[in-house]
Structure 1
Amino acid sequence: MRRHDLDWLRVSVFGLLIFYHVGMFFVPWEYHIKNNVEYSWLRYPMLFLNQWRLPILFVISGMGTSYALNKRTGLQFSLERIKRLFLPLVVGMLLIVPPQVYIERIAYGQFMGTYFEFWPSKAFTGVYPEGNLSWHHLWFLPYLLLFSLALLPVFLYLRKHPGNRFISRIKKIVSNKYGLFWFLIPLFLYESLLEPFFNVTHALIGDWFAIANYATLFFYGFLLISVKEQFWKTVTQHRRFYLRCGLIGFTLFLSLILIFEDSIWIHFTEASLKVFNLWSWILALFGYAANYLNKQSKILTYSNEAVYPFYILHQTITIVAGYFIMNLSWGLLPKFFILSIATFGGSFIIYEFFIRRWKWIRPLFGLKLKKVTYPPSKQSRGSEAKVDPSF
């Protein structure tokens, strides 16, 4: 049974990802190229988004995996995951990411020459950052593929035994508004005990904190769908409570990192506030989306298919456009506006005219061979999915 609120959340969070990557051009955090003026205050709204934007995407992907497995065998699911995740990753590393690396190299005087002097002869020599081969923002795809295949035996068991003791226990836990905070325990342990020793690299190899953290969130998504309507009932009824928890959690977290020096006790307190904050926002967003957004529309129909190609394309367009304005004397707002319009507009043009309409190009960007058809918008909210929402 399709939940349109998950589609709305997925589309909205990936839309925020585009604004987030535009913002990375202006904040004093490491990024591929930087504006000639950096704005320290912009870190705080960026930090707010950064707390929950990736976690909720992995939870939504885990939920989508449950829907995908309802229509496929384990083998069919595995082959479909490879086709939808690995193929676009390879295409992205060959065609989409190299312009980003090229722009970075010429921006900082590390390469002199045209793009076709860089690609393909230099584009795949060595591994980034020392070399040029990278998956950059497409790191989400290999992680999602790893989690999908590694957790598949567990998912198949849970699907085959929907009334097992574990699921029954989880259903009882999520029926209470406080019970959902039990899910914080593994996240707190990762944040407090793993994160200090394993920096997030998105390189997959050795990225133990990110793997443990995101795999658990992915598993949570599958688990919460497995308890069926009980989860949605709880988050819908108590969405205001979770929103208040999120507001309090982020306020305390921000105050802590601004006021206190780092120490072992501050570290554990920060870890607890961080996971409390991100989980509260995830629950609040699910609650409000379930209450207000579980409905189909023409905008959602189009956006739900477009979001994957937009994700693949967007950062390259942002970096290319950013290169041409990075040293101009314009202020933050004009540059942010230009970069946002260029990214959304460029992604739309490439998707609409060079991907969506071409049968054999579509699979290279994770789409089905034929254009997707949807049920009429007035069809019931529980109508069966025509698009696999597991990305």
Structure 2
Amino acid sequence: MPVTAGNFEAQINLHLEKTRSVMRRHDLDWLRVIVFALLILYHVGMFFVPWGFHIKNNVIYEGIKWPMLFVNQWRLPILFVISGMGTYYALSKRSGGQFAMERIKRLFLPLLVGILFIVPPQVYFERLDKGQFEGAYFDFWPARAFIGIYPEGNFSWHHLWFLPYLLVFSLLLIPSFLYLRNNPQTSLIKRVSRLAARPMGLFWLIVPLYLWESLLEPFFPSTHALWGDWFNVVNYLTLFFYGFLLISVGDIFWRTLAANRRKYLYLGIAGFSLMIGLRMFWEDSTLVHFIEALFKVVNLWAWIMVLFGYASAYLNQSSRTLTYANEAVYPFYILHQTITIAIGFYLMDLDWGFWPKFLIMVVGTFGISWLIYEAVIRRCTWIRPLFGLKNRIQDTSAAA
């Protein structure tokens, strides 16, 4: 039967009704685990590159900034998109009030624990390194650990900034998400469904991202302080909303990604190459900024589509490894940077070269995080909620 506007509309309506009962996608869980694992590698890498970090190696390696820049373009955007998708599943089984309470328990409580106990050692090692404090850790904590706001003071949420952002976004968008959940025939979802049915249709969604990147980013540099961090707030809020919206259109989205993933791969390679070429051969100016902003948003969105496309083709299956890793990833995220910085502090002045230090920090961060998780967090009922886990031993739902 030929496709007409009428029967295409009927297909969308039928699909949207089916979408409400869609089962959880294991590829999203795999992507979440993989991206958080990359985060550990990225934070170890920050010890060696010229970009600002809490402590630095005694030798800086310029070359590794290029693979880190590549990962940096899409690692946080895709996490917010995945988190928006996870919110769709969480809200499908809860009322708005139940969802709000669940978000507070699973995001605010671990954030509070992290601020009080996990982050202070990072600040302590930084103060030792910069000669701003002398003495044992328990001379620093708690007496001085919470005096003043970082970086001038010591109180901070450091790498846990993702949690307050996600909490605020989740609570702020509850009315919109409930409306979309309860009205799958709304014109917004239908429009996105039409875009998702075309190979390049979803690239229209980069228009708001381009506006934020070109008009907000120059005036609001990244601080991760939430208040005043307006580019990040608006940009990540948009990506979080996109995640909920894209999962709402369901199979149309996933089929298009799987069928066109190679096109998105070529586009991502082109976008990243153009962005790097522009940075290397042109001095910064207003015109260059507007051009680079376009390359940047095309690049990050293309790689998000690439990752979703290949994951849907090869990773949409459960396993015992995924079940274990999906629960462990949240405690790993909370713990990892403190362990990385502690190891780095004792390696930073050794003349061992890049690879010995890098491997020790990676293996040490993963290994110590796993020991703490397996021996303590996973097995202690009263500790599990402090790290965002439910009380039962097996929990396959995403924390974010």
CA deviation vs aligned residue, 1:102-149 (integer Å, no higher than 9, x gap): 000011110011000000000000110011000000000000000000
Please tell me whether residue 244 in structure 1 is matched to residue 266 in structure 2: yes
CA distance in 2, matches of 1:342, 1:205: 34
Identity %: 65
Any idea what SS the aligned residue of 1:357 has? coil
CA deviation vs aligned residue, 1:171-201 (integer Å, no higher than 9, x gap): 0011101111000000000000000000010
Shift of 1:390: 5.0
State the partner residue of 1:39: 61
Please tell me whether residue 149 in structure 1 is matched to residue 171 in structure 2: yes
State the partner residue of 1:121: 143
Q: Which amino acid aligns with 1:367?
A: L
- Relative to the length of structure 2, the TM-score reads 0.94
Residue number among 353, 356, 360 corresponding to 2:378 in the alignment: 356
Shift of 1:370: 1.5
State the partner residue of 1:3: 25
Q: Which amino acid aligns with 1:199?
A: P
Residue number among 370, 388, 391 corresponding to 2:397 in the alignment: 388
Residue number among 176, 182, 206 corresponding to 2:198 in the alignment: 176
Check whether the contact 2:323–2:396 (CA below 8 A) recurs between aligned residues. no
How many residue pairs get aligned? The number is 378
Check whether the contact 1:60–1:390 (CA below 8 A) recurs between aligned residues. no
CA distance in 2, matches of 1:77, 1:200: 29
CA distance in 1, matches of 2:366, 2:399: 23
State the partner residue of 1:376: none
CA distance in 1, matches of 2:70, 2:381: 40
Residue number among 210, 216, 219 corresponding to 1:197 in the alignment: 219
Q: Which amino acid aligns with 1:360?
A: W
Check whether the contact 1:74–1:156 (CA below 8 A) recurs between aligned residues. yes
State the partner residue of 1:68: 90
Check whether the contact 1:67–1:390 (CA below 8 A) recurs between aligned residues. no
Query: Mind listing any 5+ residue stretches in structure 2 that lack a counterpart?
Result: 1-22
Any idea what SS the aligned residue of 2:351 has? coil
CA distance in 2, matches of 1:7, 1:128: 33
Which 4+ stretches in 1 moved above 2 angstroms?
none
Check whether the contact 2:42–2:68 (CA below 8 A) recurs between aligned residues. yes
Query: Mind listing any 5+ residue stretches in structure 1 that lack a counterpart?
Result: 373-385
Any idea what SS the aligned residue of 1:162 has? coil
Check whether the contact 1:62–1:390 (CA below 8 A) recurs between aligned residues. no
1:1-391 matches, within 5 Å, as: 1-372=23-394, 387-389=396-398, 391=400
Shift of 1:388: 2.5
Shift of 1:264: 1.1
CA distance in 1, matches of 2:397, 2:103: 11
Any idea what SS the aligned residue of 1:238 has? helix
Cα-Cα RMSD: 0.6
Check whether the contact 1:68–1:390 (CA below 8 A) recurs between aligned residues. no
CA distance in 2, matches of 1:109, 1:389: 41
Check whether the contact 1:314–1:347 (CA below 8 A) recurs between aligned residues. yes
CA deviation vs aligned residue, 1:72-98 (integer Å, no higher than 9, x gap): 000000000000000000000000000
Any idea what SS the aligned residue of 2:225 has? coil
